[in-house]
Amino acid sequence: MTHAHPELGAPPALADDTMRIVALGGLGEIGRNMTVFEYRGKLLIVDCGVLFPEDSQPGVDLILPDFDYIRDRLDDVLAVVLTHGHEDHIGAVPYLLRERSDIPIIGSQLTLALVDAKLKEHRITPKCVTVREGKQHILGEFTLEFIAVNHSIPDALAVSIKTAAGCVLITGDFKMDQLPLDGRVTDLNTFARLGDEGVDLFMVDSTNAEVPGFVTSERDIIPVLDSIIGRARGRVIVASFASHVHRVQQIIDVATSHNRKVAFVGRSMVRNMKVANDLGYLTIPDGTLISSEEIQTRPDDESVLICTGSQGEPMAVLSRIANRDHGISIGPDDTVILASSLIPGNENAVNRIINELSRQGARIVHKGNALVHVSGHAAAGELLYCYNIVKPKNVMPIHGEWRHLRANAALAAKTGVDLERIILADDGVVVDLAHGKAQIVGAIPCGFVYVDGASVGDVTETLLKDRRILGEEGFISVVTAVDLVERKIVAGPEIHARGYGENDSVFNDVLPALRSAIDRALADGVTDTHQLAQIVRRTVGKWVADKHRRRPMIVPVVIEG
């Protein structure tokens, strides 16, 4: 458990005329989005997503928000509102529903369909409430209004939350593409109307706050994809997010125009695209879609594979293909398109895949050398436009690393928002809204919760440190048998190493010093095997550090012989 702001005490009791906002994820990071709103004893949650691990978190599959803040108050939760269907906004829903399965889940049609498909794998049947843009929904003291926003997945929503304490407008992830593929533009009219009525707190997507101007339209990708796929001599493999319906639609359209068949590969890709197709968000011409097995029997220049793994995830399809651990192999005529941007922290994993695929002869196309991806997040020009039409009394940048949050705050200040009314916060910082003023009033403990296989929350920072040491420095075991009555060594010490990079014979130099240290301890009356083990650890550790400048994991075993 971590406390980001030790200088902040626990928040005071919540007054009846105040709405409390606590982010349990999504601040200072891109992922794990989850915000809790409290008013008059009831809780409303907006989004419940996951964060994907970095290289410094070996063995971790997912990182969840920390539910401890609400764990004792789950009966007070009125609902979870989901802004859209990306994993960093919905991925932790199954883990929350394990703790209370009947929490209502509110969202758009596609978002709830993606959540439902995910929950089936966890054997959970959710209580879903489907909403549409332009509609209101009342939950106790909370009045919600849903607003259409354009993003890289259909059916994304911004949410207005009104109580007697004030109005909060949350953009969710959004941009202002004026020519979206589905014709569904961000509803700036409603943003402006809410601004005229009075927005007390504007919580704004910060991901692209450092990027000047406006984000490129999705439609600008089509001629680039057409050129790449049209000139490809062999098979085309496209890696994308499993929820990026618009990008998949573009690839299907281009593949069809070049008489290529399309196959979805990867469990989440197959699942999500079936949902999108069944609901009419994806259009696949008859005869276009084939199975991944059929791909193997067709000429390479007649097929396009759409798969997962654009972020270098080790178990995703593209990683397995690159590592030659998949039925699909790469040849010198093949083209691989990485149709996504890099999530910070994934650069090394993606570069390794690019290098390995290049070694096998494939042509690699990515955002760095071709326009095969545009962001789903508003750039600085779009954010400025929104600040000017919403005219918020207070602003709280969300969804971004600290550099993004600060850049977004600077944009708000340029449009005239008072610096004292711009809230920059970490996860766990408590913000109260009352009488038109938002302010930080304290902080609560809020850490990372790691998912490792079937284990949830059992992996600690100490364990991750041990894993990093094992991976980077190796492992040394030292076994010694002693006679505690006679106070002498009867066997050993024997030293063995794994992943250390040196032959075991190198430890012959430390054995005399180690025996001497054990003999002295026994002579001094030390008869506790744990204390003797610590002496062994310190002696070997100091020698390894001085002689080899290494800090491996040392496991001493002292037994009574």
Query: What pLDDT, on a 0 to 100 scale, did the predictor assign at position 524?
Result: 76
Looking at the DSSP bridge assignments, the partners of residue 46 are 35, 81
Contacts of 459 (CB under 8 A, 6+ apart): 59, 60, 450, 452
Question: Tens of pLDDT along the chain (561 residues)?
Answer: 344 566 788 899 999 999 999 999 999 988 899 999 999 999 999 999 987 765 555 456 678 898 999 999 999 999 999 999 999 999 999 999 999 999 999 999 999 999 998 898 888 999 999 999 999 999 999 999 999 999 989 999 999 999 999 999 999 999 999 999 889 999 999 999 999 999 999 999 999 999 999 999 989 999 999 999 999 999 999 988 888 899 999 999 999 999 999 999 888 899 999 999 999 999 999 999 998 888 888 888 899 999 887 776 766 788 888 888 787 888 888 899 988 876 666 677 788 888 888 888 889 898 888 888 888 999 999 999 999 999 999 999 999 999 999 999 999 999 999 999 999 999 999 999 999 999 999 999 888 877 665 556 555 555 555 445 554 556 777 888 877 777 777 777 888 777 655 566 677 777 887 888 887 887 777 777 777 878 887 887 787 777 767 677 777 878 876
Helices (H) and strands (E) in the chain, counts: 16, 25
CA-to-CA separations, 433 to 18, 51, 76, 417, in angstroms, rounded: 6, 28, 20, 16
Dihedral (C-alpha) 371, 376, 377, 383: value to the nearest 10 degrees?
90
Contact 62, 449 (CB under 8 A): no
What DSSP string runs through 88-128? HHHTTHHHHHTT-TT-EEEE-HHHHHHHHHHHHHTT---EE
Query: What pLDDT, on a 0 to 100 scale, did the predictor assign at position 467?
Result: 47
Residue 433, class by beta-carbon neighbours within 10 Å (0-12 exposed, 13-18 middle, 19+ buried)? buried
Pairing of strands 261-265, 303-307: parallel
Query: What is the tens place of the pLDDT at every residue in 243-270?
Result: 889 999 999 999 999 999 999 988 889 9
Query: What pLDDT, on a 0 to 100 scale, did the predictor assign at position 1?
Result: 32
Query: What pLDDT, on a 0 to 100 scale, did the predictor assign at position 328?
Result: 82
What is the distance between the alpha carbons of residues 404 and 76, in angstroms, rounded to a whole number?
33
Can you read off the two tokens belonging to residue 558?
Answer: 């002292």
Nearest to 289 by CA among 264, 326, 320, 321: 264
**Phi, psi values for residue 510, rounded to 5°:** -95, -15
Q: Which helix (H) or strand (E) holds 385?
A: helix 380-390
Residue the block writes with tokens 């610590």: 534
Query: What pLDDT, on a 0 to 100 scale, did the predictor assign at position 515?
Result: 81
All structural domains of the chain, each given as residue ranges with its CATH number in brackets, are 19-213+375-456 (3.60.15.10), 227-365 (3.40.50.10710), 461-560 (3.10.20.580)
Residue 499 gets the label, from left (phi > 0), alpha (psi -120 to 50) or beta, of left
- The predicted model scores a pTM of 0.80
What is the distance between the alpha carbons of residues 171 and 159, in angstroms, rounded to a whole number?
7
Can you read off the two tokens belonging to residue 494?
Answer: 């024997």
